[in-house]
């Protein structure tokens, strides 16, 4: 019996078609789109760049009244504006942008029911489902699970290092860790 000659095994590769901006209805698709567009630098997601790529979405950084982090509103049919409080830190603005982007993707048909401005990621027991969804969506696109877990292993769970790496606040970082079922005072 003759042995079969050793030939290299051809690997089948499946090309993932580029995602369209209108198809970003899940956090996985948003993260994949950001990677395809070069909007992920290491582990940090460029949420401003993502918003800028959407022709139906505009971003404004404006001083908002105390207690208001951000808003989203429909300017005209199919055209929306995200406003973030320019008085806040860059990390807070980043999470606020991602939160309002989540409303744009998840709750576009119900924006009229949302408050005209809101506090985001606040410490309150009266959060409603829509706000919880937006916070979770924002945390997932800014801190994708695989990268998050890898960075925790790499840094030994250093909150300050992780927050800097992802460009978010320690509060946002703890929120993401808690949603992933991680225990402890920190991460």
d(CA 54, CA 100): 14
Q: Is the residue at 184 inside a domain?
A: no
Average pLDDT estimate for 20-27: 89
Is pLDDT at 61 greater than 90 in this prediction? yes
Q: Is the residue at 47 inside a domain?
A: yes
Q: Is the residue at 15 inside a domain?
A: no
Is pLDDT at 142 greater than 70 in this prediction? yes
Q: Is the residue at 76 inside a domain?
A: yes
Number of domains within the chain: 1
Q: Is the residue at 6 inside a domain?
A: no
Average pLDDT estimate for 53-76: 93
Q: Is the residue at 14 inside a domain?
A: no
Give me the count of residues in the chain. 187
Q: Is the residue at 167 inside a domain?
A: yes
pLDDT band at 14 (very low <50, low <70, confident <90, very high): very low
Q: Please give the residue range of the domain that contains residue 52.
A: 21-179
Q: Is the residue at 4 inside a domain?
A: no
Answer positive or negative: Cα dihedral of 107, 112, 114, 120.
Answer: positive
C-alpha to C-alpha distances, 160 to 11, 151, 153, nearest whole angstrom: 42, 12, 14
Task: Please write the tens of the pLDDT for every residue from 65-110.
Answer: 888 899 999 999 999 999 999 999 999 999 999 999 999 999 888 8
């Amino acid at each position: 019996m003759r042995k079969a000659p050793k030939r290299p095994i051809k690997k089948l590769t499946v090309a993932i078609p580029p995602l369209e901006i209108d198809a970003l209805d899940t956090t996985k698709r948003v993260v994949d789109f950001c990677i395809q567009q070069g909007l992920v630098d290491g582990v940090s997601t460029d949420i401003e760049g993502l918003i800028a790529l959407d022709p139906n979405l505009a971003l404004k950084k404006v001083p908002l009244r105390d207690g208001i982090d951000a808003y989203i509103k429909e300017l005209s049919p199919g055209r929306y504006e995200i406003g973030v409080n320019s008085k806040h830190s860059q990390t807070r603005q980043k999470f606020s942008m991602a939160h309002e982007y989540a409303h744009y993707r998840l709750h576009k048909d119900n924006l009229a029911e949302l408050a005209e401005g809101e506090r985001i990621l606040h410490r309150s027991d009266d959060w409603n489902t829509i706000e919880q969804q937006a916070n979770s969506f924002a945390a997932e696109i800014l801190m994708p699970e695989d990268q998050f877990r890898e960075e925790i292993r790499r840094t030994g769970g250093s909150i300050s290092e992780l927050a800097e790496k992802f460009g978010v606040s320690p509060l946002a970082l703890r929120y993401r860790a808690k949603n992933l079922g991680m225990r402890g005072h920190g991460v």
